Amino acid sequence: MGRRWLVDSVPSHDRRMTPIKVPRHAVARRAIALLAAAVTVAGVVTVTAAPAQAARTKYWVDTWRRVPGSNCPGFAVPDRICGKQGDLYAGRNYVFCKAWGEDEWITDPSVHNHWWLLTDLDTLLPSATNPDYVSAYYLSGSANSANDSAFDIYGHPIPVC
């Protein structure tokens, strides 16, 4: 299969628009450069993404309710733009690893969890992508009854990302 081209227009010396062929990868490279320039102008210094998606080990966990997912290990992480990305349904789910983050609690701050689990959410907002983080606060099972715990359904600790 041959190269795919986009037709772009550039002004010629006599101010008429002359169509030229531009490879798609060149357009993507130009868009990335413009985005990087916009980020630099906006004053954002650090852009951090979730770990690269390689072949990952899945650790099975049970959650006792539908859990909101964040693109950070928490919703208020300093120096990061964090927010809800979607939801993980209640029940049996897989996670890849855990990261220490924002303290999560609902009604009693003495019952809390700082661990956030990297997983693929079941529902995503339109601009969101997987993987994302959910709080280990919502894990069920006796091994997860203590504060700041994150164990799979077999009682094994989930590894740190």
Average pLDDT, the chain: 75
pLDDT, tens digit (0-9, with 9 covering 90-100), for 97-129: 999 998 888 778 888 999 999 999 999 999 899
Q: Which positions ≥6 away from 59 have C-beta within 8 Å?
A: 94, 95, 96, 97, 152, 156, 158, 159
Q: Which residue, 102, 119, 115, is CA-closest to 148?
A: 115
The answer, yes or no, to whether residue 138 has pLDDT greater than 70, is: yes
- Is pTM beyond 0.85? Reply is no
Termini Cα distance of the chain: 40
